[in-house]
A and B are shown apart, each in its own frame.
Chain A
Amino acid sequence: MKKEEWYEKSKTCKERNTDFSTVSGVPIKVLYTPDDIADMEHDRDLGYPGEFPYVRGVYTNMYRGRLWTMRQFSGFGTPKDTNRRYKYLLGHGQTGLSVAFDFPTLYGRDSDDSFAHGEVGKCGVAIDSLRDMEVLFDGIPLDRISTSMTINPPAAMLLAMYIVVGEKQNIPAQILTGTIQNDMLKEYQAQKTWIYPPEPSMRIISDILEYCSEHVPKWNTISISGYHIREAGSTALQELAFTLKNGFTYVEHGIKAGLSVDKFAPRLSFFFNSHLDFFEEIAKYRAARRIWARMMREKYRAQDPRSYLMRFHTQTAGCTLTAQQPENNIIRTAYQALSAVLGGTQSLHTNSMDETYALPTEKAAKIALRTQQLLAYESGVAHTIDPLGGSYYIESLTNELEQGAYKYFEKIDKLGGVVRAIDKGFFQKEISRSAYSYQKALEQKTKYHVGVNIFEEDEKAEIEILKISPQVEKVQRSQLKKLKRDRNGKRVREKLLMLRKAASDGENLMPRILDCVREYATLGEMCNTLKEEFGVYHEPIIF
């Protein structure tokens, strides 16, 4: 049958829907054929795994060499509680740690801060000083695991604490592996965990890049994160475009700070969301690899191929979990995990079914981990590289996303770059608009969410949830009080003063922060010291 004939014929078939589009609203055709990728050249646009432009994967043999790292994000209560959970997860075959901090810690506030009231240990573990960090990693040898820390404005302080815990375990910083998120741009755009204004934040980041390239060379210094942009309601394209543009902005800053691009770019990694739309997500990861490689080579003139690699962590989309029929979340998460794996992720967190309510219980956390293990060991999807490569649909989506991203880059450049666009509320507006139109689509039922706007059930499903006792806050506060009594207060003050001085002199902050940490200065003390110099950020126009 001829192509035209088939199209004629297909038009006579009645369709069950008037609108077929991705979850981001991109229209989908009834069929994809070679015509859709006619412009694509295999060697130029796809290439081979581990080779430019890395669309099919960043490593030569991908999962046949090594599976992705199963890295479940967790943390709650006191450092002792979390330490116990880490040992449980490592005991069940998890291969990396990922620390979730509580809100006060994320904002650089101590547990006895008035703002911390009611939030200590609630959504993550509370860390006030080196003492807490010692307890958190007690009995966990830092040379045998890699640790990811989701921490942004106080990233330098937490990294310093980790380094010092290493010192105490006799492990040199040179061999420590792990990641700090340290991606402030997306905080201003989406996640909104900030302390200082963008300029000083960017300076702290440059300091970290510089320090680590010398002293902690295996550490991933920024995890450029689209995850939160997506959670805040963006589309897949916005997630892709904003995240990469943020990445390039860090590259430009590093270069401006006098670093050579190949010195720090290989240590940049990415963090993406895996959302509902199976194919769109896979295309997103593939497009991201190609854009990063092309721009790093062509625009930023990186020479070292490691600078071209867009390595990324993925987390399944928390915002797609439903409080209704929570067991469905297991299945939802499994599909999302599959698209991350087919998209070539380097590490993965799968959400637990109960995470809309609270932090996961042990059982839910285990099921989530098992979901990944099933994919890795049973399903066979990791046997070959990029199995969807060459699919007319996937390739065409990949191209479309890449082109869309370039358009966004141009728009952002016209606004004067990322920092300027943040100031103008550009990202915030783009994201809230997408979030609002998705909500409208759900309410008009042009998009579905099972259990929420279709196949709803009446009875309230009750599931077991993990509750954080208010005792945690009390314990944490009294520990802190004790710490402040026991340490050498005079030396703490001295070191804080030197930190302040380094901040105003433009000297690299990392060595000063390490000094403070060693004297058990608290996180809050260090952050407040910098606040005096840098001021605090106020949110710009919002809607």
Chain B
Amino acid sequence: MKGRQRETVKGIRALLAGEKRTIARIISAVESEDSEEILEHIFPHSGSAYHVGITGPPGAGKSTLVSAIAKRLLGKRKKVGIIAVDPSSPFSGGALLGDRVRMTDLALDENVFIRSMASRGSLGGLAQATKDVALVLDAAGMDYILIETIGVGQVELDIAQVCDTTVVVLVPESGDSIQAMKAGLLEIADIMVVNKGDREGCERLLTELKFAFEMREQKVGWDYPILKTTATEDEGVEELVVAIESHASYLSKTGRLEDERKKKLLLRIHELIEKRIRFHLKENIMPERDIIKLLDKMYERKLNPYRIAGQIARRIIRLADRRFV
């Protein structure tokens, strides 16, 4: 026990010093295990990184844009952490993570740390551990953390619960804007980007979006920027970075940054409690096989699921009263 703690403390020290191998190791731990002990140690050192989420349909140029944004930030002597999430295969649980391909120009800059994550079954566009991985990068001294979602086109609203600024990227390909509205993407956007500005149809999409935003309820004092970029040519990226910075200063000036981050902490607490309880239930209290034994009787209508669930729950609550709080 002692030895292990010493290990952890040593690790934390290296992490705070920005030692890449250690950062990578701790991220793996956080990704695959219950690592609350480590996270507890890390938490006090976090809170200074600004989180930016980049979401949008696949192929919109998210990775390219992240790379271009990062380059700009590096030019301003900022440290940048990048988390790029790709889907896990629902069949094998494996994943092909290819976002790095877009970021090779950055890879050797010592002020960048790029980590690819597989979603590992999570559905909201991020992986379960994304928040914790961001926390690790935060503590490792990153000024900015850029998070790229999976981009499978479904509802990817998790990103807004992790990031201070959410950038939604669309491209002038058919039906994108409608798709985005359906998916509620516009609701979570703080900044809208139309990428592939070199393509036809770009202006039309911009107009459509402006119209859609006018219809949307305005947050006081924040004028949603709708920007055009060509990520591959580095065009419009400076404007995007400026927009991110002004969103950040808007948030902090109005006190919203603190409010939002507190909200996020509250949410985090809820999540963690749920996670623990769910884990505990599954692992310790409700072994499936015990319930399976009752299935026959339920099937024959000799027992009913409402009654059984009620009983189990009551007992858990009673136990919880004694044990967990």
Contact = CB atoms under 8 A, between A and B. Distances in A.
Q: Touching in the complex, A and B, CB below 8 A?
A: yes
A542 B232 CA distance: 17
B151 to A, nearest CB: 11
Contacts of A425: 59
Contacts of B58: 541
Given A535-B233, A538-B232, A424 B59 contact: yes
A539 interface: yes
A540 B102 CA distance: 8
A196 B192 CA distance: 30
B96 interface: yes
B101 interface: yes
A543 B96 contact: yes
B232 A541 contact: no
A19 to B, nearest CB: 24
Contact of B98 (A197, A538, A541): A541
Contact of B101 (A197, A424, A535, A542): A542
B105 to A, nearest CB: 9
A538 B233 contact: no
Contact of A543 (B59, B64, B98, B102): B98
Contact of A539 (B59, B96, B101, B233): B101
A541 B59 contact: yes
Interface string B76-90: 000000000000000
User: Considering residues A197, A424, A538, A539, which has the most beta carbons from chain B within 10 angstroms of its beta carbon?
Assistant: A538
A67 to B, nearest CB: 46
B57 to A, nearest CB: 12
B98 A542 contact: yes
Q: How large is the interface on A (under 10, 10 to 19, 20 to 34, 35 or more residues)?
A: 10 to 19
Contact of B102 (A197, A424, A538): A538
A306 to B, nearest CB: 36
B264 to A, nearest CB: 32
Interface in A497-543: 535, 538-543
A495 B98 CA distance: 41
Interface in B86-131: 96, 98, 101-102
A433 B101 CA distance: 20
Interface centre among A535, A541, A542, A543, by most B CB within 10 Å?
A541
B153 to A, nearest CB: 14
Contacts of B233: 535
A431 to B, nearest CB: 16
Nearest to A425: B59
Interface string B51-62: 000000011000
A141 to B, nearest CB: 46
Contacts of A535: 232-233
Interface in A1-25: none
Interface in B205-251: 232-233
A434 to B, nearest CB: 17
A192 to B, nearest CB: 12
A425 B101 CA distance: 14
Contacts of A540: 59
B65 to A, nearest CB: 13
Contacts of A542: 98, 101
A381 B64 CA distance: 55
Contacts of A197: 232
Contacts of A424: 59
A107 to B, nearest CB: 16
A424 B101 CA distance: 15
Interface in A401-439: 424-425
Nearest to B200: A416
Nearest to B99: A541
B251 to A, nearest CB: 33
B61 to A, nearest CB: 10
A542 B86 CA distance: 13
A130 to B, nearest CB: 33
A122 to B, nearest CB: 23
Interface in B130-147: none
A539 B98 CA distance: 11
B260 to A, nearest CB: 33
Nearest to A539: B101
B165 to A, nearest CB: 26
Contacts of B101: 538-539, 542
A541 B62 CA distance: 12
Interface of A: 197, 424-425, 535, 538-543
18 contacts: A197-B232, A424-B59, A425-B59, A535-B232, A535-B233, A538-B64, A538-B101, A538-B102, A538-B232, A539-B101, A540-B59, A541-B58, A541-B59, A541-B98, A542-B98, A542-B101, A543-B96, A543-B98
Interface of B: 58-59, 64, 96, 98, 101-102, 232-233
Given A535-B233, A542-B101, A543-B96, 12 more contacts: A197-B232, A424-B59, A425-B59, A535-B232, A538-B64, A538-B101, A538-B232, A539-B101, A540-B59, A541-B59, A541-B98, A542-B98
